[in-house]
Amino acid sequence: MLVEVHFTPAARPKPQGNVCVVIDALRATSTLTTMFAMGVEAVLVVASLAAARRDAKQRSGWLLCGEKRSLPPQGFDYGNSPAEYSTLDLRGRSAVFVTTNGTRALIRAAGCSVVFAGSMLNVSRVARAALTEATRRNQAVLIQCAGDLGGRAFDLEDAFCAGAIVDAVVRARRKTELNDEAEVARRLFDSYGGSASEAFQQARHGVGLTAAGLGADVEFCAQRDRYQAVPRLERTPGGLLIRSAAMQRARA
């Protein structure tokens, strides 16, 4: 089985086919994982603040969530803080969600056969889900980092998390072929001794979040396997919805 990592989505054509895991470790995919762990039913991912505001108005009772320059935009119910979402009861709720890099990366990956949202918070579960789907479909596993600057720049935290997922897949299935970026990501993960906390604190974005008073999120996102939730993208006539993988299986 081929396992690929792409560090910067904007540098490559939109992916097609294959089973994709999208990572925005600080913080969008960590937030999505936490939202589903807290009971949210569905999350509509959009690419812009204007689209988020429009779609939330069209959906009565839906929360409006996301960030601009790391903070909640004016009029939003919640931002992009997984630590904050971990304190909420979201059972029965749905949300519209927009972020600078993460939601764009998810939208860009929508042409893949299956798209999961991965983070350190669900790393083992999402690796297992991706491996199961790739084996069933006889496809490759593509791990897509959201990166920075709209997907144009490499970032450390996503590469580290990608390495953790690669490591989990390789340990579960020895006969794997890694592209160069997957090999680099796994070696990066190993170089930190598997310590996401150290890597995230050293990452430029982690430093910036801490300086903005959001250091609790950096530590929160570094927790390994806190949750069992595996968010999965679903293409619908109304847009790109994220639901839990378990919920999708139950509805199938």
pLDDT digits (tens, 9 = 90+) for 110-163: 999 999 999 999 999 999 999 999 999 999 999 999 999 888 999 999 999 999
- CATH number for the region 2-251 comes to 3.90.1560.10
Give residue 42's pLDDT: 98
Q: Kindly list the domain boundaries of the chain, sorted by start residue.
A: 2-251
The amino acid occupying position 55 is: D
The Cα-based distances of 62 to 7, 77, 107, 228 in angstroms read: 33, 10, 20, 24
Q: Are 15 and 112 in contact (CB under 8 A)?
A: yes
pLDDT over 70 at 210, yes or no: yes
Instruction: Read off the tokens for 250.
Output: 């139950």
- Helical pair 180-191 and 156-172, crossing angle rounded to 10 deg: 100
- Over the stretch 49-77, which tens digit does the pLDDT of each residue have? 999 999 999 999 999 999 999 999 999 99
pTM of the prediction? 0.96
Q: Put residue 148 in one of left, alpha, beta given phi > 0 → left and psi -120 to 50 → alpha.
A: beta
Q: What pLDDT is stored for residue 13 in this prediction?
A: 83
